[in-house]
Amino acid sequence: MKKLGQNFLVDGRVLARIGDYASLNEEDRVLEIGPGTGNLTRILSARAGKVYAIEVDPGLASALEGRHPNVVVMRGDALKAPLPDYNKVVSNLPYQISSKITFRILKRPFDLAVLMYQREFAERMVAFPGTKEYGRLTLNVSFRAEAEILEIVPRGAFRPMPQVESAIVRLLPRKTPIPVDEKAFDDITRVLFSTRRKKVKRSLASMGASLGALSRIDPQILDRRPQELTLEEVALIARTISG
């Protein structure tokens, strides 16, 4: 039964591969968001030391409780509930919270995440500069982590069958942080991509950037449009404007 807009992954081969991608062992403490009927939970519990499964639907949570001795079922909204002590995140995410929950995960320490997204969303996460998929999501993810699409999952792997394809994405936190204040970076990407058709110079001027700050940025960068900028160039802009 479909609840809260979630489609449940039922293909055993895909479920097993998700477990493989996560490279789980008995030392791992896994966070699973939206376990639903527990198909992935079963794979995780067999491979990890402990699984924390956060489920907002009371009926689904009740059905999971007591099923696996190393699974702690947590009732609540994963966007608001206190999160446990985990080192990996493995989930078939409810797609309606994909962006918000991704950035909640990225703001906490973890070793690795293997997450299922709508294919279109995943392709935006890993897009290259100059493509139509490239945007604020791409930059804000890559600022914090390395993202890679591991495989495309067909609609038939889910019940009920969704209208879109899905993708399994691996996230690895950046070993070396980008040298710029996180809030300054987020503010700059928000401004640039709220007016993505404008050239960078006009967008920065509209946010009140001083002529002195603009003069310290390469004119070739200022003459581009936001979707043409690399991560390093956006970081450079953020450092210059905020400094």
Binding site: residue ranges? 7, 9, 34, 55, 77, 92
The answer to whether 68 touches 47, Cβ cutoff 8 Å, is no
CA atoms 238, 190, 89, 154: torsion sign: negative
User: Which residues participate in the annotated binding site for S-adenosyl-L-methionine?
Assistant: 7, 9, 34, 55, 77, 92
Determine if residue 167 is left, alpha or beta; phi over 0 gives left, psi from -120 to 50 gives alpha, anything else beta. beta
Cα separation, 47 vs 200, in Å, equals 48
Q: CB 202: neighbour CB atoms within 10 A? A: 12
Distant-in-sequence, close-in-space partners of 92: CB < 8 Å, separation ≥ 6: 8, 9, 18, 34, 36, 40, 116
The answer to whether 206 touches 191, Cβ cutoff 8 Å, is yes
Cα separation, 75 vs 96, in Å, equals 18
Distant-in-sequence, close-in-space partners of 28: CB < 8 Å, separation ≥ 6: 22, 47, 48, 49, 50, 87, 88
